[in-house]
Structure 1
Amino acid sequence: MINRSRRSLFTRQQSPQLQRLPWIKDENTFTDQCQRCNACIYGCQTNIIVKGDGGFPVVDFHHGEGECSFCYQCATVCPEPLFELQHQSPWAQVAIINSSCMAVNNIECRSCGDQCEIQAIRFALQIGKVAQPVINSADCSGCGGCISGCPVAAIEMITP
Structure 2
Amino acid sequence: MAARAPDPMRRALLRGKAQPSTVIRPPWALAEPEFLDACSRCNDCIDRCPEQVLAPGSGGYPVFDPLRGECTFCGECASACSTQALDRQAVRPPWHWIADISGDSCLAQRGVVCASCQDGCGERAIRFQPALGAVPTPIIDATRCTGCGACVGLCPTQAIALKNMPWKESSDAT
Which TM bucket (shorter chain)? over 0.9
Aligned residue in 2 for 1:92: 96
Structure 1: stretches of 5+ with no match in the other structure? none
Aligned residue in 2 for 1:53: 58
CA distance in 1 between partners of 2:111 and 2:22 (Å): 30
TM-score by length of 2: 0.86
Does residue 154 (structure 1) correspond to residue 159 (structure 2)? The answer is: yes
Cα deviation for residue 30 of structure 1 reads 1.1
Q: Deviations over 1:11-58 (max 9, x none)?
A: 244222201111112101111121111101110010000011111110
Does residue 72 (structure 1) correspond to residue 75 (structure 2)? The answer is: yes
Cα deviation for residue 83 of structure 1 reads 2.3
Does residue 23 (structure 1) correspond to residue 28 (structure 2)? The answer is: yes
Does residue 131 (structure 1) correspond to residue 148 (structure 2)? The answer is: no
TM-score by length of 1: 0.93
Q: Compared with structure 1, are the counterparts of its residues 147 and 5 closer, same or farther at alpha carbon in structure 2 (3 Å cutoff)? A: closer
The range that moved more, 20-29 or 3-12, is 3-12
Counting only pairs closer than 5 Å after superposition, residues 105-116 of structure 1 correspond to structure 2 as: 105-116=110-121
CA contact (8 A) 2:72 2:148 kept: yes
**Equivalent residue letter for 2:101:** I
The range that moved more, 82-91 or 39-48, is 82-91
SS of equivalent residue, structure 1 residue 14: coil
Structure 2: stretches of 5+ with no match in the other structure? 166-174
CA contact (8 A) 2:44 2:81 kept: yes
CA distance in 1 between partners of 2:75 and 2:98 (Å): 19
CA distance in 1 between partners of 2:34 and 2:55 (Å): 19
Does residue 119 (structure 1) correspond to residue 131 (structure 2)? The answer is: no
How many pairs are equivalent?
Answer: 158
RMSD: 1.4
